[in-house]
Structures are given as structure tokens and as C-alpha cells.
A and B are shown apart, each in its own frame.
Chain A
Amino acid sequence: MKRYISIAFLPAAIYILFSIAGFGLSGVTGSIVYKIVIIVHLLFACSLVFKEAGNRVTMLIGALGLGLLAVNEVFLFAYIHLFNGSTLDITVANYSRNCAYLFFLAALLSLLPPALKWKKVNQIGANGLSAAVIILIFYGVLTDQANLLYYAAITMMVLCTASALLLLAGKNRNATLFAISIIIACVLDAAYHIFSLLNNLNLSWYWQDIVMSLYPAVYLFIGFALIRLKEEEADNG
């Protein structure tokens, strides 16, 4: 545990510095500093989980989710700051960000306890619903429909949160920790999408910026929770 805390110190320190420096600035979420901080955190968390995962498929899937988020953020960084694109443009990033949650959803479903009532029904339901939502998001990006994207993304977050809630009742403490980390990420993302919808009505960006500034910490938390899954397995072994 001490090892992980010490390894996590560097990005945590960057995050705190970033928070102090950037929190008061308006438009922080569009800044280069914010994007770099978030990419550093994601790459760090992803590489750490990959390194520790070995053959543990649940951890590998979680790491893929973090990896996809990292690629997504690199794309957005390049699109906004190198290509002079706008944060309002609908790009492949809108699609891949939601697909990253599919990896987390798969990891959550694979952690469901075998004795859970209606486990099979839950799995089939979550599989089918997530596929339907992602096809909607895919169609929304292809046809450039922002509102359809936001509604589908919010549905996706609700689906992930519901799957995570099923794990909270279990006795596996580390799986519960992972579920909590995903719930926090989903709530933040859902809040972000709701604020995006409100912004279409010309409301302030301020609340959206506050939500976005919390992401680096959440990604570190997800990485940390994924690594804890390994410890649980070792204890059981």
C-alpha cells in the first residue's frame, strides 16, 4: 500500500498545484495546462494498472478503459490546441469517451458475485442496453446531433451507475471500492453532460469547469481501485 501511495504522490502533487493555480480561472477546462494534467494522470494510472495486471482480465479491461480515455484526451488536446478546433465540435472523442465506460461496465459485470440473484439477467440486460446506447451515440456522431449524444451519454452513465450499485451490496471490499470510483466518475460525467445541455441555453460555463477540474483525481482513484483488486485476489489465494 505504501508503495502505491508514494508512486501516486507525483501526479497528486501536480493535481494540487493545478487546482490551486487553475481553479479560479474561467475557462480552465479548455486550457493547455488542464489537458496536460489530465493526460499525465490518465497515462500514469493506465500504465500502473497494466503493469500490475499480469493475466488478470478484469484489471486489463479496466486499464483499457483508462487507456481509451487517455487516447481520447490526447486527441482532444491535439484537436483544440494544435488544430484550432472547438470544444463544441462533435468528433470521434464524443463516441470514444462513452465507449471507455463500456470497458468499466464490463469490468463491473465480471466482478458480480456468482451467488447474486438474477445475475444472468443483469448481465444480458446491461450488455444489450449498453450496445443500444452506443449505437445511438455512434449515430449521433455520424449525423452531428449534439442533443441525441448528450441524452444517450446520460443514459450510459445511469446504466454504469446501476451496475456499480449491484456491487455495493457484495462482501468484496475492493470490488466495492472500484464500484464507488466508477459511480463518482459516472455522476461527474452525467453532471457534465447536463451542464452541456444547459449551456445550449446560453447559461454559464462555470459549473461545467468545476466538474471537469475534478476528473484527474477521479481517474487516479479508479486506477488505485483497480490495483486494489489484485490485492483482494492475492488475499483469497
Chain B
Amino acid sequence: MGDLQFQFISVFIATFIPLMFVALMLGKGESRQIILFFGWGLFSGVLAFHLNNSFGAGQTERLALSIAPMIEEICKGLPLLLFLNQKKYPSVSKLIIFCAMASGVGFSIQESIYFFSLSSREINDLLVLVFRTLTTALMHGMVTAAFGIGLMMTQQLKNVRLPIIFGLLAFCASLHALFNLLLQTNFAAIAVVMPVAMFAAVWVFLGTLVSLDSDYTK
């Protein structure tokens, strides 16, 4: 097992197992689901790392702009499809978004640790880490949240769910790829603003939803 592979798996195990104990203690309800999705996000980091290496080895540019966004968005969003079978669907609308965001944030933690492990460990790298956490971590969370919002829309159209789900995954992958691309140009400032704008949009959207969370926890 290589160093990076070992690091990915060790971070996942060291975080995931204690989280499972917390999830057990929380019992049924929103909090447990959010913790479980966060755990999935950590696992999806490991999964995406392996898939990215399989398809994009030695192609740095293509990996960042095409391969990684497509693979990572699918890995992060996959367990959200479980919500489609829930009978209490209308009452878990907000929960989908929270769980999606938790999965994205869990993934970004793995990714940030990976990038930080490659740095030269100087003081400037800490600033880069802070900056990266504020932008990329938020982007991962928000893009997956956008997938969650899209899934909510499919509840009225059960017969055409499949095309919409694939379309939403492509939407998320495109936003992710655009973010990665802009970071490599002179217009990186736009990339920095992107996740913040998405956060504001999701925040406003959450405000418009009728809160039925109490019904769900009953």
C-alpha cells in the first residue's frame, strides 16, 4: 500500500469509527442521518482517489478539469438516492440538503488533508490551507447541496427520475469543473466568489422551504 493510499484509509478509519458510535447514541432522527452522510463523504474521498488514479493517472490537466469533477460528484451524491424511496418524502426536504452538504464537506476534508500532505510544511502553507478550506470545502458542500435540491424536484415526476438525476450530476460536475478551471486562470477571484454565492443561494432557498422537520422526527 502506498503512502497516500495508507493516509487516505487511515484518516477515514480514524474518523469514521468514532462517528459511528456517535450515530448510535443519537438514535433515529436527522442528526444521525447527517453524521452518517458525513461519514459517507469521508469514504467517498477514498473511493474517488482510487477512481481518479485509475482513469487520470499522468494527465494532471484532464484530471482536474474533467475526470475528477465527474467522478467526485457521483461518489458524493450516490447515497442521496436513498431518499427517493422514503415514504415521508415531503417532510425530509430540508434534510436532503443538510445530508448532501454533510457528504460534500466530509469529502472535502479528505481532499484538503491530501493536498496538505503534499505541501512543504512551511508557515505559508497553513495560510493556503485556511484559504482552501474557506473556498474548496465550501464549494464541495454547496455543489452536493445543489444536487440535493434537484432531487427534491423529482418527487413529482417519478416516471422521469433517471434523466433528471443524470442531468443534475452533470450540472454539479460542470460547476465543479468551472471552479477548478477558473482557479488556474487570471480570474481566480471569480472562483473564490462562486462557493460563497452558492452558499448564499442555498441559504435563501432553505428559508423559502416550509419547515416540516418536526413532523419527521415525531
Contacts and interface: CB of A to CB of B under 8 A. Distances in A.
Given A83-B181, A93-B174, A123 B55 contact: no
A96 B173 contact: yes
Nearest to B51: A142
Interface residues of B, number: 35
Tell me the dominant secondary structure on chain B's binding face.
helix
A130 B162 CA distance: 8
A131 to B, nearest CB: 5
Contacts of A130: 162-163, 166
Given A79-B65, A79-B181, A92-B65, A61 B153 contact: yes
Interface-central residue, A74, A93, A99, by most chain B CB under 10 Å: A99
Interface stretch (B26-34, B41-49, B85-93, B183-191): B183-191
Contacts of A141: 66-67, 70
Contacts of B170: 68, 95-96, 98-100, 102
A206 to B, nearest CB: 28
Contacts of B24: none
Nearest to B65: A91
Interface string B155-185: 0110111111011111101110110011011
Contacts of A110: 157, 159-160
A99 B62 CA distance: 19
A130 B69 CA distance: 21
Contacts of A123: 159-160
A83 B64 CA distance: 13
A231 interface: no
Interface residues of A, number: 43
A106 B66 contact: no
B15 to A, nearest CB: 29
Contacts of A224: none
Given A60-B153, A64-B150, A83-B184, A96 B163 contact: no
A61 B102 CA distance: 25
B174 A102 contact: no
Interface string B62-87: 10011101110000000000000000
A20 B62 CA distance: 37
Contacts of B167: 64-65, 68, 99-100, 102-103, 106
Contacts of B169: 99
A228 B105 CA distance: 40
Contacts of B157: 57, 61, 106, 110
A138 interface: yes
Contact of B153 (A57, A65, A99): A57
Nearest to A75: B178
Contacts of A109: 159-160, 163
A144 interface: yes
Given A72-B174, A93-B174, A78 B162 contact: no
A103 to B, nearest CB: 5
A78 B187 contact: yes
A105 to B, nearest CB: 5
Contact of A105 (B67, B163, B168): B163
B185 A78 contact: yes
Interface in A99-118: 99-100, 102-103, 105-106, 109-110
Interface-central residue, B66, B166, B171, by most chain A CB under 10 Å: B166
B153 A95 contact: no
5 contacts: A61-B157, A92-B177, A106-B157, A126-B163, A130-B163
Interface of B: 55, 62, 65-67, 69-71, 150, 153, 156-157, 159-164, 166-171, 173-175, 177-178, 181-182, 184-187
Given A78-B187, A83-B181, A93-B174, 8 more contacts: A57-B157, A65-B167, A68-B167, A95-B173, A102-B167, A123-B159, A127-B162, A130-B166
